[in-house]
């Protein structure tokens, strides 16, 4: 997918593509004139309220359980500064740059909505921080996903004040005052309401949801490709993927798309054509035959999740908010439940897709079920172990993903002296989904390695290179199944293109070698888009 190189912030929200463009590709951000004008207009209501004796949460009172504590006028600027310093209380490993940029951009989106009451110069300083490539250091732990992602956003706001810790565009940590000066940004002195507005949102969990969806849109297609290659490698049939078996009979759109991809990939394959001739199998195993149902279920879940994300991308999440008529109203829109639920929901089909992928890999490695392939796809079984331990790695990844599929959003730990007595834990749901998505890519990479190697073993050239004949070597496995000789056969054009692309960085079968670089190479082939590019090179645009 192509993303914009620049994004204009208006009062009407942003798109998922805008988030990815800023987070991953450093798209330049500009503030629309109408947004600046509305921000300035709304700020007048806050200035009026700040000068009055009327109690207003976050303007003339403390926060959380201290909401009933009145703050005198002369201490209200200090109130905002103290808020940011005290709430920048994260700990643990550093969060990834793209996640931090996503959460900052989404906070900026809400500031630009004109419902938070910040000053125009605050919005412009935050914009400049992102455009300069300055990334605050944010830590893994600190957010409960209620009252917003408070700690992560506070670490970002602290840098805007000229404090805290941050890295430059190249990822080097440097003193914050030095980074701001180099970018021509004056440290911000926060005014009434601004500290709260900078931290009170679902931006961290939403940013990670958007990034996960962007990754999964590619990975779910990659899963169709790897599954189809395994069907070829096992001399399976394309029959279950025929279009008349899907939408007309079971109208799930995701399933139909997955089946269409697999059916198209398998066309022109001699391996598939040899299915009945070689074995007479009526049906393939579930992990092959039911692949569209599982990948399709993930697709349909993603479609629902994308709707929730779109609603949140159009939202102005803050408390209190400034309404169109100037009223400043308390609310609970900062609660992360709607986002937390779908983060948890998405982790379930992601884990199940990986689980099915691992089962297909295991089938390729087992001579009792691989229909004539060498044990563990080894060059010289016994002396060589082939992909035996790669499957262990895959199984370990899947085991972790199953644990990560347990929901975070059903848990809650009360905080702030029981004022915040129910929290979403949406940040935790986001972090575990992010890990699951990364693991899915690794699982598919190992399946791709196994499928490509198995197809190589099926090929004429591969067989001839080993024993001078047109069949698999006796040292690798029996030459046939149920007394039938295994004829060599070529894969379809899509599989051939994929294997050719993979072989540019990952060697084919041979004696045992350092396996980790092969897995990493296959993972990068998928992550960089090489797998789907190879599919397109063969003339197929995956759905």
Distance CA 108, CA 128 (A): 11
Q: Which of 531-535's residues contact partners 24+ apart within 8 Å by CB, and which partners? A: 531/222, 531/225, 531/448, 531/498, 531/501, 531/502, 532/218, 532/221, 532/222, 532/225, 533/501, 534/494, 534/497, 534/498, 534/500, 534/501, 534/502, 535/221, 535/225, 535/265, 535/494, 535/497, 535/498
d(CA 302, CA 300): 5
Q: Of the candidates 332, 306, 96, 304, which has an alpha carbon nearest to the alpha carbon of residue 206?
A: 306
Residue from 3, 57, 286, 341 carrying the catalytic annotation: 57
With CA atoms as reference, report the closest residue to 430 among 206, 112, 120, 273: 206
**Dihedral (CA of 400, 136, 194, 209) sign:** negative
User: In the 8-state DSSP scheme, what is residue 132?
Assistant: T
What DSSP string describes 342-391?
HHHHHHHHHHHHHHHHHHHHHHHH-TTTTTSPPGGG-SSBTTB-TTHHHH
Q: How many other C-beta atoms lie within 10 A of the C-beta of residue 153?
A: 28
Query: For 148, left (φ over 0), alpha (ψ -120 to 50), or beta?
Result: left
15 burial type by CB count under 10 A (0-12 exposed, 13-18 middle, 19+ buried): middle
- The question of whether 25 is a catalytic residue gets the answer no
Contacts of 399 (CB under 8 A, 6+ apart): none
The residues carrying an active-site annotation are 57
């Amino acid at each position: 997918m192509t993303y914009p190189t620049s994004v204009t912030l208006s009062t009407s929200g942003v798109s998922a593509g805008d988030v990815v463009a800023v987070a991953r590709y450093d798209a330049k951000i500009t503030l629309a004139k109408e947004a600046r004008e509305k921000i300035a207009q709304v700020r007048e209501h806050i200035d009026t309220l700040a000068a009055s004796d009327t109690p207003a949460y976050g303007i003339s009172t403390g926060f959380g359980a201290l909401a009933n504590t009145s703050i005198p006028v002369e201490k209200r600027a200090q109130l905002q500064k103290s808020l940011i310093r005290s709430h920048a209380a994260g700990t643990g490993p550093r969060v990834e740059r793209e996640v931090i940029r996503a959460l900052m951009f989404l906070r900026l989106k809400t500031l630009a909505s004109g419902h938070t009451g910040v000053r125009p110069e605050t919005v412009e300083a935050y914009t400049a921080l992102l455009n300069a490539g300055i990334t605050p250091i944010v830590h893994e732990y600190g957010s409960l996903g209620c009252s917003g992602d408070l700690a992560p956003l506070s670490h970002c706001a602290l840098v805007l004040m000229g404090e805290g810790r941050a890295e430059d565009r190249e990822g080097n940590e440097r003193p914050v005052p030095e980074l701001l000066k180099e970018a021509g940004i004056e440290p911000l002195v926060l005014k009434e309401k601004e500290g709260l507005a900078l931290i009170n949102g679902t931006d961290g969990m939403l940013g990670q949801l958007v990034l996960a969806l962007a990754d999964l849109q590619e990975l779910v297609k990659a899963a169709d490709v790897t599954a189809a290659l395994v069907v070829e490698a096992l001399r399976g049939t394309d029959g279950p993927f025929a279009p008349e078996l899907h939408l007309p009979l079971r109208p799930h759109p995701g399933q139909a798309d997955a089946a269409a991809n697999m059916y198209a990939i398998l066309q022109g394959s001699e391996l598939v054509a040899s299915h009945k001739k070689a074995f007479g199998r009526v049906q393939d195993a579930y992990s092959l035959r039911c692949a569209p149902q599982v990948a399709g279920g993930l697709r349909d879940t993603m479609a629902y999740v994308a709707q929730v994300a779109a609603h949140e991308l159009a939202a102005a999440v803050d408390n209190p908010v400034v309404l169109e008529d100037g009223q400043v109203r308390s609310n609970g829109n900062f609660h992360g439940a709607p986002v937390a639920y779908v983060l948890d929901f998405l982790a379930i089909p992601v884990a199940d897709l990986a689980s099915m992928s691992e089962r297909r890999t295991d089938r390729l490695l087992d001579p009792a079920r691989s229909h004539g392939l060498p044990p563990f796809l080894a060059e010289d079984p016994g002396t060589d172990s082939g992909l035996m331990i790669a499957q262990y790695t895959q199984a370990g990844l899947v085991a972790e993903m199953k644990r990560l599929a347990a929901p975070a959003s059903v848990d809650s730990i009360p905080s702030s002296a029981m004022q915040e007595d129910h929290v979403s834990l949406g940040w935790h749901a986001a972090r575990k989904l992010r890990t699951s998505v990364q693991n899915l890519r690794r699982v598919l990479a190992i399946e791709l390695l196994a499928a490509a190697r198995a197809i190589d073993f099926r090929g004429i050239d591969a067989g001839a290179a080993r024993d001078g004949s047109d069949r698999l070597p006796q040292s690798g496995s029996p030459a046939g199944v149920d007394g039938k000789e295994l004829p060599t056969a070529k894969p379809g054009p899509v599989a051939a293109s994929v294997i050719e692309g993979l072989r540019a960085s990952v060697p084919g079968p041979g004696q045992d070698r350092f396996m980790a670089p092969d897995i990493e190479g296959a993972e990068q082939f998928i992550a960089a888009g090489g797998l789907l590019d190879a599919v397109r090179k063969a003339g197929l645009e995956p759905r």
